[in-house]
A and B are shown apart, each in its own frame.
Chain A
């Protein structure tokens, strides 16, 4: 090969970059987020009815979209009440509805968000519930 040294160095850099996730995996690589739903507000609910606004799978995937819709409906359209698919009514509010039940933001919302590396900017303005400890 001609200029073999330079070509091999280039290829090593390329391969190193491409497989870097395999090389740099820490001990935490397999840790999974474990959002806790054991807040006082949720524990007050009867055992069989401890559900979110919608079912769990839906909330997991779509909660950001739901919050976005709630925000538009409240701030732009002046609506206040959300009727879930199950027919239950909720006041559309980030702080007073979501965070009332999920008052453990750092062990719930943040648990997932840190895992996937998102940092919702909502808390620039909205006030996160006080957590002891």
Chain B
């Protein structure tokens, strides 16, 4: 059900653009107001959620690690997998954020005849994930040509490397091909593997369809239904100077692309995509394992009401004496 629901949700978003832009001529709404609203939702939403997360105390370190913790000098400690210093944590975080290290350790488990349980390394998800995220990043960096004037040299270098194979005109970008391939892989994975299909929800399919839709409309716009990119840059530069104008004659495919991106931005803070910020706050990655080396005080400790022996004796002294029990104070 999740699949169909998500698919038709994205189709509905596309229909909205056709009705709004082609039917009702709401170019300013779809070209300026909605993107701005989405952009603000994106920033405010993320900041709000991170602040909420920051309010939760993490008093105790959670050492789910793959290595020996620091103890005696003659026992070799695993400095990155089980760090006890800030530097070790920084390295572990960097590996996690940049190389998806814990995903790299992904295992596949199978029940064989026997019955025997077998485990094997499974790197496909890691590969698909890393291809997806890095091409996404490069595409975003290349898009910055629409938001800077003059265009910084680094973006031009990214473009020329990306178009290295010089196929066709406009040149085919390697990242576009890999990006669409990776999104397709991540989607098929959820459909083809029964266990994954069982746990997949609309909240998993919808972002995939949405991002896939953005990629497909972008590729259609660049290679098939050409549109006036100079006009589009006038629009985007209008945004950043707060004097937006909507040039005439921009193809509807651009408005579809833009509306899907706006939907993604607005949806982002309330979705699982918040893992972008969440990875930095994951307690199993960002805390040094100093459970024993340092004192950690639980911030929600309240003063515990105690009843000391002295008080006990005060309460029951007479009874104790009459029963012949020894008392400390007469």
Contacts and interface: CB of A to CB of B under 8 A. Distances in A.
Interface of A: 1-4, 7, 10-11, 14-15, 18-19, 21-22, 24-26, 28-33, 57, 60-62, 64-65, 67-68, 71, 112, 114-121
Nearest to B44: A15
Q: Which 7 A-B pairs have the closest CB atoms?
A: A117-B151, A117-B145, A21-B147, A68-B169, A61-B226, A1-B54, A64-B169
A21 B51 contact: no
Contacts of A116: 145-146, 151, 229-230, 233
Interface magnitude class on chain B = 35 or more
26 contacts: A2-B56, A7-B50, A10-B50, A14-B46, A15-B47, A21-B144, A21-B240, A25-B237, A26-B150, A29-B149, A29-B240, A30-B237, A30-B241, A32-B230, A57-B228, A61-B228, A64-B170, A68-B168, A68-B169, A115-B149, A115-B151, A116-B146, A116-B151, A117-B156, A119-B159, A119-B160
A3 B230 CA distance: 46
Interface string B274-301: 0001001100000000000000000100
Contacts of B171: 121
Interface of B: 42-43, 46-47, 50-51, 54-58, 144-151, 155-156, 159-160, 166, 168-171, 226-230, 233-234, 237-238, 240-241, 243, 249, 251, 277, 280-281, 299
A110 to B, nearest CB: 13
A116 B150 CA distance: 9
Contact of A57 (B55, B160, B233, B249): B249
A119 B149 contact: no
A77 to B, nearest CB: 16
A121 B165 CA distance: 11
Contacts, number: 101
Given A28-B149, A29-B237, A117 B227 contact: no
Given A14-B46, A21-B148, A112-B230, A2 B280 contact: no
Contacts of B237: 25, 29-30
Contacts of B150: 26, 28, 114
| A contact face: mostly helix, strand, loop, or mixed | helix
Given A30-B237, A112-B230, A18 B149 contact: no
A118 to B, nearest CB: 7
B240 A25 contact: yes
Given A21-B144, A21-B148, A114-B150, A15 B43 contact: yes
B233 A115 contact: yes
A2 B145 contact: no
A35 to B, nearest CB: 9
A60 B228 contact: yes
A67 B149 contact: no
A44 B51 CA distance: 67
Given A14-B277, A28-B150, A1 B299 contact: no
Contact of B243 (A3, A30, A61): A30
A32 B109 CA distance: 59
A14 B45 CA distance: 13
A66 to B, nearest CB: 9
Given A25-B149, A32-B230, A117-B156, 12 more contacts: A1-B51, A10-B280, A11-B47, A11-B50, A14-B46, A22-B240, A26-B149, A29-B241, A30-B238, A57-B249, A62-B226, A114-B151
